[in-house]
C-alpha cells in the first residue's frame, strides 16, 4: 500500500474528494497517511480529523528561510513514510530539495487546461478571471507532476469544462472544481499509486505490461 501525504492550505474541498474516493475504494493501492497544512486555521485539517487522518502544520512564516521550511516539510513527509505527495490547494511553492526527494511522485491539480492560464501568478480565482477576460469558450483542469517550473511538469490527466455566457470567476471556479478537479485528482492519484506499487512489486510489473508501456511513452 502506497503511503500518501496530502498538502493543503484552505477549506479542503479537493482533499474531501480524495478522502471520499479512498473511502469508496477508488484508490486501491494507496492510503492517505497524513494531511499537512500551510496554515493552522485551514478547515482542511478538520476534514482530515473527521476521517481520523493524522495532521500537521508547516507554515512558511514560521521559518526564517525557504530552505528551513523545506527541511521541516521533508521531516514531516519522511516521518509518515510518504511515498506520494498530493497538492490539494497547497499555496506554498515547494523547494528544489522537496521536489528532488519526490521526483515524479508529486501531483498537483491546476484549474485550467495547461498550457493555458498557468505558471507564476496563476492560482485560485486569478486563473478563472484570466480565462473570462480572454473570452475562452472552454476551460478545465489539469493534473500534472510537479517539477521546478510552476505548472511545468508532465501532464497526467485533463478534462474540459464549458464556459457559460453568464459566468463569473466564482461560478466558473465552482463548475471546474465539481466537473473536473474533484474527479481528476483522485483518478490521477490512483494511477500513480498503481505505478509506484508496481515498481515495488515485480509480480505486479509482470502482470501489467501495458502499464509499463504507457509509462515509457
Catalytic positions: 110
Strand partners for 145:
107
Report the C-alpha gap between 142 and 182 in whole angstroms: 11
User: Are residues 205 and 185 in contact, defined by beta-carbon separation less than 8 angstroms?
Assistant: no
User: Taking Cα atoms as reference points, which of 143, 142, 149, 102 lies closest to residue 3?
Assistant: 102
User: Are residues 85 and 106 in contact, defined by beta-carbon separation less than 8 angstroms?
Assistant: yes
Burial of 169 (0-12, 13-18, 19+ CB in 10 A): middle
Long-range contacts formed by 188-191: CB under 8 A, 24+ apart: 188/107, 188/109, 188/143, 188/156, 188/157, 189/4, 189/18, 189/21, 189/27, 189/30, 189/84, 189/86, 189/107, 190/21, 190/26, 190/27, 190/28, 190/29, 190/30, 191/156, 191/157
Amino acid at each position: 500500500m502506497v503511503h500518501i501525504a496530502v498538502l493543503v492550505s484552505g477549506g479542503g474541498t479537493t482533499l474531501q474528494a480524495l478522502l471520499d474516493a479512498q473511502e469508496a475504494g477508488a484508490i486501491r493501492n494507496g492510503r492517505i497517511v497524513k494531511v499537512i497544512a500551510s496554515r493552522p486555521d485551514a478547515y482542511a485539517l478538520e476534514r482530515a480529523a473527521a476521517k481520523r487522518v493524522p495532521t500537521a502544520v508547516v507554515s512558511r512564516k514560521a521559518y526564517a528561510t525557504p530552505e528551513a521550511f523545506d527541511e521541516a516539510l521533508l521531516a514531516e513527509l519522511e516521518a509518515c513514510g510518504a511515498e506520494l505527495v498530493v497538492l490539494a490547494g497547497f499555496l506554498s511553492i515547494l523547494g528544489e530539495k522537496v521536489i528532488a526527494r519526490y521526483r515524479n511522485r508529486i501531483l498537483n491539480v491546476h484549474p485550467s487546461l495547461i498550457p493555458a492560464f498557468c505558471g507564476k501568478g496563476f492560482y485560485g480565482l486569478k486563473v478563472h478571471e484570466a480565462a473570462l477576460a480572454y473570452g475562452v469558450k472552454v476551460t478545465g483542469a489539469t493534473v500534472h507532476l510537479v517539477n521546478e517550473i510552476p505548472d511545468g511538469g508532465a501532464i497526467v490527466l485533463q478534462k474540459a469544462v464549458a464556459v457559460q455566457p453568464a459566468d463569473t470567476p466564482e461560478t466558473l471556479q465552482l463548475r471546474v472544481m465539481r466537473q473536473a478537479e474533484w474527479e481528476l485528482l483522485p483518478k490521477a492519484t490512483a494511477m500513480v499509486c498503481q505505478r509506484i506499487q508496481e515498481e515495488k512489486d515485480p509480480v505486479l510489473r509482470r502482470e501489467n505490461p501495458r502499464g509499463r508501456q504507457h509509462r515509457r511513452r
